[in-house]
Amino acid sequence: MTRRVVVIGGDAVGMAAASQALRRAGRDSVEVVAFERSHHVSYSACGIPYWVGGDVDGPDALVARTAAAHRDNGIDLRLRTEVTGVDLGARTVTACDVDGGASTTVGFDDLVVATGAVPVRPDLPGAHSPGVHGVQTLDDGAGVLDGLARRPRRAVVVGGGYIGVEMAEAMVRRGLQVTLVDRAPEPMTTLDPDMGALVHEAMEGMGITVLSATAVSGFETGDDGRVAAVTTAQGTLPADIVVLGLGVRPNTELAGAAGLPLGESGGVLTDLRMRAADGVWAGGDCVEVLHRVSQRRVHIPLGTHANKHGRVIGMNLGGSYATFPGVVGTAVSKVCDLEIARTGLLEAEAAAAGFEPVSVTVESTTRAGYYPGTTPITVKMISATPRRSHRSGTRSW
Amino acid sequence: MTRRVVVIGGDAVGMAAASQALRRAGRDSVEVVAFERSHHVSYSACGIPYWVGGDVDGPDALVARTAAAHRDNGIDLRLRTEVTGVDLGARTVTACDVDGGASTTVGFDDLVVATGAVPVRPDLPGAHSPGVHGVQTLDDGAGVLDGLARRPRRAVVVGGGYIGVEMAEAMVRRGLQVTLVDRAPEPMTTLDPDMGALVHEAMEGMGITVLSATAVSGFETGDDGRVAAVTTAQGTLPADIVVLGLGVRPNTELAGAAGLPLGESGGVLTDLRMRAADGVWAGGDCVEVLHRVSQRRVHIPLGTHANKHGRVIGMNLGGSYATFPGVVGTAVSKVCDLEIARTGLLEAEAAAAGFEPVSVTVESTTRAGYYPGTTPITVKMISATPRRSHRSGTRSW
């Protein structure tokens, strides 16, 4: 008898899981129905800034495998179709056509929850005005490019995480005057502040105005209703286009409503096989995972994890026993020519996890000093030993 | 009272030790006399192939700090002066002027043995003929360039280690027809053979003929007495210039004659502070070090270790307590556009050290697939658990 797998979300996790399951179990044993509410599947959201900046042709170049290819592989893929409810008792999902069609209910034997994340929108006046863009899906990327087609002159990026920093660079490359506003003391809080300061410096070096330690209080609109300025405690920043890079939160509305367990970080809680409940699997930006250094459960939305989750889920669906043992906090990015990488824990993260961190920062070169193309590199290493426990909570010296 | 430190060898270890000692203890407490038999100090021998290949201007660009700079720092530096004897009992060294001057005897309180390594010359007919070049010092590099000035057409490189592979590339870039002859099944035996095969492929891709598993039996000379061919079991290879890349062995003649302890790999044996005897320190290519993964003592001649040894010795001379805890087997190189790196143990090294290695090889890309400049990368990971001991020496299954 054929087992039916229903997949909610057609990006990395969902399509990798579907493909693996079919490859391992065969079409005679497994039938896959996949729902995706956007126009695209299997895309690299992390490439959007490079598409906006003009380094990459988009959106097709960012699609690792097309809808047609997935359908050829035997996946019943339904684009522009949003799942609106999951009934774990009845083992059904209900989905509706985003463009106004009918709703449909499909039964499942196994369910893959791959609903991803949603960009954080600040609860501030004007945050939903036209011209204020989140960046999460390829449709969002197309939205920013539509915005750029209006020939804006001044861009403000709110938030200095990966997407914020990368989008600021992309818009400078498009010739805009760019200001990045960030609450934190330095951009890229996935680095220690002393390393973030190097990112700050590199951004200013390419002409981006970086306003750190600055809170945004609202968004003003012009006569046409579009965003015209970003207001901050330090003053008002005129803006023809605004990009939000305030991070994302796990998209767990469906999962939560269905009664799936959520963890302390807000992501769906799974076991090491990425199973959230009997016959229900979840992975990617909507779950939380174990950080293998801190031993805490964390939400780190990255495509590299999502691909692995999808493969693990697909292997399990296909009859194997596969696990995702956790993450170690590795991520890479770049600003202009400055390449940025991290792994493990920040000093503050290490302290929060109960370690006593010590660090050393080394200034060196990427190649032997005599070799052409040598550039400076700064390496910060953090070493940590478990903190001795103190019953009184105070130290004895 | 001033303590006198005598340094034998003016490359990385010797001059780093001297500089650190002076910086930490001050000229009032420490006096340094350094002997170097070549024309150069503090040079990057690893850069010689790039100098020969034309990527780097030499030899000055390969000198990290000049003799004049060291003298300005207070070091009594004697170039072209070779130490011929060490008397540990009398605490003296005897040195003579290489260009025919008188010999001199100098007393020491502390001695730094930094005599480096010597290229292995095969014990084969013709191995010392003109036109057969070792590559170890800047003077050797100048010798190869003198050889190239004679406009040779055909070069044969004997040995497929780092220097052999890099020199083969350098001479191809100079327009020569290059053949590399190597006894091993694949070049670069610091990699597992399956990874060495990628180096082989890259070399052939740039037009180098690679003869693996081929033993050299001798060197023929022409009427002018210069090398004219390399003979192998597989046939005779005409050669206008020959470069030996057969590795190096620790240069321990002086140390051995003085009675310093030598280890199983043939290098000077030191403790973790790089001390070979009371008041006698040694480091760099002439010592053996602890491999922290295999826990064996090994001879791995690399400038990166030498620099660290020199600093450790200098700190100890200057009154601090510093140690060099060992190496983990890291090295990097390149052939044409192929970048090569290793760390830890090879599969065979792991097995020899008593581990049961398992490995996985991953083919991926250096960047996200959509990003400009993406190139293929092959990563081999080796994991090993200690082998269970078997009293009988035979397995029970």
Q: Read off the pLDDT of residues B64-112 as tens digits, 9 standing for 90 and up.
A: 999 999 999 999 999 999 999 999 999 999 999 999 878 999 999 999 9
Q: Residue B339: closest CA among chain A residues belongs to which residue?
A: A367
- Is residue B280 pLDDT above 70, yes or no? yes
C-alpha angle A264-A265-A271 in degrees, rounded to nearest 5: 70
Q: Which residues of B are catalytic?
A: 46
How far is the C-alpha of B61 from the C-alpha of A371, rounded, in Å? 9
How many CA atoms, within 13 angstroms, populate the side-chain half-sphere of residue B377?
14
- A-chain residues near B372 (CB < 8 A): 55-56
Find, among B248, B322, B321, the residue nearest to B284 by Cα.
B248
CB contact under 8 A, A56 and B372: yes
- B50: which chain A residues are within 8 Å (Cβ-Cβ)? 370-371
- Token pair 């050797």 is at which residue? B140
Of A245, A279, A285, give the one whose Cα is nearest residue A267.
Answer: A285
Per the annotation, the verdict on A96 as an active-site residue is no
Work out the minimum CA distance from A329 to partner chain B, whole angstroms. Answer: 18
Q: What is the pLDDT of residue B134?
A: 92
Mutation site, B166, B366, B370, B379, interface A, largest A CB count within 10 A: B370
CA A185 to CA A195: how far, in whole Å?
A: 11
From B216's Cα to the closest Cα of chain A, the distance in A is 33
> How far is B114 from B10, CA to CA, in rounded Å?
8
- Spell out the domain ranges in chain A: 3-118+248-317, 121-244, 345-386
Q: B350: exposed, middle or buried (C-beta count within 10 Å: 0-12, 13-18, 19+)?
A: buried
Q: What is the dihedral of CA B59, B62, B68, B72, to 10 degrees?
A: 180
pLDDT at A397: 37
Cα–Cα distance measured from residue B119 to residue B148, given in angstroms and rounded to the nearest whole number: 20
Give the whole-angstrom CA distance, residue B219 versus residue B125: 6
Chain-chain contact of A47 with B371 (C-beta, under 8 angstroms)? yes
Q: Which residue of A has its CA nearest to B60?
A: A370
Interchain contact, B368 vs A47, CB within 8 Å? yes
Can you name the residues that pair with A93 across neighbouring β-strands?
A: A86, A106
| CA R_g for chain A | 23
Separation of alpha carbons A174 and B101, rounded Å = 69
Which tokens belong to A1?
Answer: 């008898």
Q: How far is CA B369 from CA A221, B48, B366, B372, B373, in A?
A: 39, 36, 8, 8, 9
In degrees and rounded to multiples of 5, residue A204 shows phi and psi of -65, -35
Closest chain B residue to A371 measured between Cα atoms?
A: B56
Question: Whole-angstrom Cα distance, residue B266 to residue A236?
Answer: 72
pLDDT of residue A29: 95
Are the Cβ atoms of B56 and A372 closer than 8 angstroms? yes
CA A190 vs CA A81, A149, A345, A347: distances in Å: 35, 32, 9, 11
Q: Give the confidence band of B393 by pLDDT, cuts at 50, 70, 90.
A: very low
List of chain A residues with pLDDT < 70:
388-397
How far does A49 lie from chain B, in Å, by closest CA?
A: 11
B267 and B301 Cβ atoms separated by less than 8 Å? no
- Residue A117 C-alpha from the chain's centroid: 7
Q: Cα(B168)–Cα(B35) distance, rounded to whole angstroms?
A: 33
Interchain CB distance below 8 Å, A371 and B62? no
Give residue for tokens 């390594």: B117
Is A3-118+248-317 in CATH node 1.10.10.10? no
- Comparing CA positions, the residue from B5, B8, B2, B4 lying closest to residue B94 is B8
What's the CATH code, domain B121-244? 3.50.50.60
* Mean pLDDT value across residues B360-382: 93
Which of A370, A371, A374, A383 best tests the B interface by mutation, with the highest count of B CBs <10 A? A370
| Band of pLDDT at residue B395, cut at 50, 70 and 90 | very low
One-letter amino acid of A365? T
Asked if A52 contacts A149 with a C-beta cutoff of 8 angstroms, the reply is: no
Provide the shortest C-alpha distance from residue B301 to chain A (in Å): 16
> Given a cut of 60, is residue B392 above it in pLDDT?
no
Residue B387 confidence (pLDDT):
78
* Per-residue confidence (pLDDT) for residue B388, from 0 to 100: 65
Predicted confidence at residue B389, as pLDDT, reads: 55
Q: Which amino acid is at A340?
A: I
pLDDT at B16: 97
Q: What is the DSSP string of A82-103?
A: EEEEEETTTTEEEEEETTS--E
CB under 8 Å to A393, separation ≥6 — which residues? none
- Rounded to whole angstroms, the Cα distance separating B300 from B324 reads 14
Residues A377 and A368 sit within 8 Å (Cβ to Cβ):
no
- The residues near B32 (Cβ < 8 Å, ≥ 6 apart) are B4, B5, B6, B7, B18, B21, B22, B74, B75, B76
Does the interface predicted TM-score (ipTM) exceed 0.85? no
Query: CA A45 to CA B310: how far, in whole Å?
Result: 48
Size of interface A-B (CB pairs under 8 A): 34
Lookup result for tokens 């019953």:
A391
Which residue in A47, A369, A370 is closest to B370 by CB distance? Answer: A47
**Residue A329 CB neighbours (<10 A):** 18
User: Which positions ≥6 away from B19 have C-beta within 8 Å?
Assistant: B65, B70, B73, B75, B314
* B56 vs A: CB within 8 A: yes
Average pLDDT, chain A: 94
Mean pLDDT, chain B, integer: 94
**Which positions in chain B touch A372 (Cβ < 8 Å)?**
55-56
Residue A216 forms contact with B (CB below 8 Å): no
The Cα of A370 is separated from the nearest Cα of chain B by a number of Å equal to 6
Single-letter residue type at B80: R
Shortest CA distance to B215 belongs to which of B289, B287, B159? B159
How far apart, in whole angstroms, are the C-alpha atoms of residue A26 and residue B205? 41
Nearest alpha-carbon partner for B165 in B298, B46, B288, B343: B46
Contact B181, B233 (CB under 8 A): no
pLDDT (tens digit per residue) in B3-24: 999 999 999 999 999 999 999 9
Q: In which residue are the tokens 């209910």 written?
A: A105
B3-118+249-317 is classed CATH 3.60.40.10? no
Q: What is residue A294's predicted lDDT score, i.e. its pLDDT? A: 94
Q: Compare all CA atoms of chain B with the CA of A334 and give the residue at the minimum distance.
A: B367
B321–chain A Cβ distance below 8 A for any pair:
no
Rg of chain B on CA atoms, in Å:
23
Give residue B391's pLDDT band: very low, low, confident or very high (50, 70, 90). Answer: very low
From the list B3, B37, B25, B26, the residue with the least C-alpha distance to B14 is B37
